[in-house]
Amino acid sequence: MAAEYYNYIDGEWTESDETFETANPAAPSETVATYHEADVDDATAAVEAASAAEDEWANTPAPQRGAILREAATILADRKDEITDLLIAEEGKTQAEAGGEVQRAIDIFYYYAEKTRDMGGSVKSASGPRTNLYTKNEPVGVAALITPWNYPIAIPAWKVAPALATGNTLVLKPAKVAPGVALEIFKALDEAGLPDGVANVVVGPGSTVGNELVVHDDVDAVSFTGSGQVGHMIYDKATDDGKRVQTELGGKNPTVVSDTADVEEAAGIIANGAFGTTGQSCTATSRAVVHTDVYDEFVDAIVAEAESIEIGPGEDSDMGPQVNERELEGTLDYIEVAENEGATLATGGGQPDEFDEGHFVEPTVFTDVDNDYRIAQEEVFGPVLAVIEVEDFEEALETANDVDYGLSSSIVTNDHTEAERFVDEIEAGVAKINDKTTGLELHVPFGGFKQSSSETWREQGDAGIDFYTIEKTVYDSF
């Protein structure tokens, strides 16, 4: 029997007149869960509840807030297996990917629970006598959090946990495609003793529910992760109202393969970055920028890597399905576009024959790609890799930077000078050496350059705390 989920407003799980269902992307005829769909009135009620709880939560000692986060993390850890199964069933990730994502959410809550012990400001030396000069950090207020489906528990966790740790109240709107695991966070918070109204969650359309969260007068900060088109619209609306805004958007992430690289290692790194999570990650490797001296060898190696991947349902495969029919069709459309532009389809490009249903697509590699092709410029959000040949390191850097995005990047090289130059000159918020573009540590800043981010505030680590706090300077001459 499919699970049933409700919206969580002012400490109560609330019903709605309208409901919708989610389906298993590996078996679309299978219903995973039924959701009560929020409307504008629900969004308004959630914001009002958060606003009413704002002062009491802000005045709660930070270690007490941390104790609730810690207990919520423990509850999530106790339920890790069932939450992992839900993530697999609703979003399509493999067992390893889903389990790793759930553990990341648990770790994030533990991390920010401990950070609450160190929430004070700083003490400075005053210029004159009898003056104590120091700073104190205060919460921004009510935060509206809007999250995507591709990391349906990790991204909500890295927004919710620092917001609560710093004394803010909040309303989360997760994507309707796979919201179940985000709601499990709120179940854990409720059981951990979070006061009513401090954290609320409404599941509904972005055009109505999401818009109400962005424009409501009682909302002080907006954090959005999703598409560039929506993100820019949200940024404009929220900043027009004077709200603090943080957006993390798309990517077109390169890995440069130097002529000094171990080609087999490079192919393994890039295959992991390109085809892991079925390419449905904003940090996925979508361009391999390869030195001409190792180009042919690399193409053979990456094709072999792609063809070795076992496709199937997440419980027992190397790569699961795309999340729904729309995403699958989008990927297949880009594959057709790439062929029409003149790129060579080296492997993949279609749907595997062995499945009667499911949104499966083959890991796909294109060669002979010019960097001005759409396949090299636009985010595909599927397991599609464009391989671009370059003559030297200078051209590799120029090609890597010649896109509108700047989220993640990497280089595979045995030349330390090249590695240092890459770090200095790549136009991306994340730069990795001899590593895949995907995979992030939770205690360091994350964000992009150019169209990948609002370039205002970073997420995770201390940067996550910075977004949700305002610093006050105190001159005490008592």
- For residue 470, is pLDDT > 80? yes
pLDDT, mean over the chain? 97
pLDDT tens for 196-242 read 999 999 999 999 999 999 999 999 999 999 999 999 999 999 999 99
- For residue 478, is pLDDT > 90? no
Please give the pLDDT value at position 379: 97
Please give the pLDDT value at position 119: 87
Check 177, 189, 267, 282 and give the catalytic one: 282
Please give the pLDDT value at position 342: 97
- For residue 117, is pLDDT > 80? yes
C-alpha distances (whole Å) from 172 to each of 41, 148, 213 are: 15, 11, 9
> Model confidence at 452, in pLDDT bands (50, 70, 90)?
very high
pLDDT tens for 123-143 read 899 998 889 999 999 999 999
Q: In the chain, what percentage of residues exceed pLDDT 70?
A: 100
Catalytic annotation present for 4: no
pLDDT tens for 304-333 read 999 999 999 988 899 999 999 999 999 999
pLDDT tens for 276-289 read 999 999 999 999 99
Please give the pLDDT value at position 121: 86
Rounded distance between C-alpha atoms, residue 286 and residue 345, angstroms: 15
- For residue 1, is pLDDT > 70? no
Please give the pLDDT value at position 120: 84
- For residue 255, is pLDDT > 90? yes
**Rounded mean pLDDT of 135-157?**
97
- For residue 2, is pLDDT > 90? no
C-alpha distances (whole Å) from 115 to each of 65, 112, 134, 232, 327 are: 10, 5, 20, 31, 38
**Rounded mean pLDDT of 13-41?**
97
pLDDT tens for 378-424 read 999 999 999 999 999 999 999 999 999 999 999 999 999 999 999 99
Rounded distance between C-alpha atoms, residue 29 and residue 178, angstroms: 16
Q: Which domains does the chain have, with CATH numbers?
A: 3-249+453-476 (3.40.605.10), 253-433 (3.40.309.10)
pLDDT tens for 43-101 read 999 999 999 999 999 999 999 999 999 999 999 999 999 999 999 999 999 999 999 99
